[in-house]
Amino acid sequence: MADSIFPGIETHKGGHYAVLDAGAHVLAWTPRGQNPVLWVSPLAVFAPGTAVRGGIPVVFPWFGAGPSGDRRPSHGFARTAAWRRTAVTNDLATSGRLEVRHALDASGLDATGLDSEPFEAELVSEFTAGQLAVSLVVRNPGPGAFRYEEALHTYLAVSDVGAVSVDGLSGCTYLDKVAGAAAVQDGPVRFTGETDRIYRHTAEVVVDDPDWGRRIAVGKQGSANTVVWNPGREKGTALADVGPNWPGFVCIEAGNVGDDAIELAPGEEHILTQTVRLS
């Protein structure tokens, strides 16, 4: 895995795994004989300081424009920051497992003009033939409380967003960011236009994709919210790095945002984990 913005790619029995050093950004998990499970836009830009459209961007330490609505860049600085690759465990030849660890802290961020309290973050990406697991570990080394939002902004590849559904959210309350109102989910989530929802939800969801004959199970731990997003035709085609490719994905994000933001006392840590597998 080269030290660059480009991915280190490993193969295992015909499968493909990839993670970028820039942003500690998981880019590919494709088990043998499957269509890619993670979607990456054909129009994605791979350049320093630019968030890659697709894969699993790390949203931290704020979501969107943050609780105050004025934080920049959108979704925090982690997804474009220079994370340090600290360890690689490559057991593909024996157990079929690959683990990559990246670290980030507040040092070196002053040049960006970002106002950040001390923190230590670690992103652990574990690839096997049966599952992708990504964990964001955040520690507070400072003398005061550290409050932050987080999400693992997972782009899942689908045959056509209009043909898929998401099970596991029925009965959950959510904030509909498109309508600007709260609601309760009734039955599976289906996509008929722009969808941007933050659910109060702690369990697994399943993306049912009948056209590709597969179901993608997304589990999580340490997460109070599940975010479901697809920009729809109008907004999707207007995004330069999405364009006409907007029907090819749905985002399912484990996170802790808004009123569910994490607050760490000095010395505390929190672990957010998201797993992706085919079922």
**Mean pLDDT value across residues 17-43:** 95
pLDDT at site 3: 35
pLDDT digits (tens, 9 = 90+) for 254-266: 999 999 999 999 9
| Whether pLDDT at 1 is above 80 | no
pLDDT at site 5: 41
pLDDT digits (tens, 9 = 90+) for 177-218: 999 999 999 999 999 999 999 999 999 999 999 999 999 999
Q: Check residues 108 and 49 and name the one with the higher pLDDT.
A: 49
Instruction: Sheet with 269-278: list strands edge to edge.
Output: 84-91, 97-105, 120-127, 132-139, 269-278, 214-221, 205-209, 165-167, 189-190
Q: Look at the block and give the residue holding tokens 């760490």.
A: 264
Phi, psi of 186 (to 5 degrees): -120, 105
pLDDT averaged over the chain? 92
Q: According to the CATH classification, is domain 8-278 in 1.10.3720.10? A: no
| Whether pLDDT at 19 is above 70 | yes
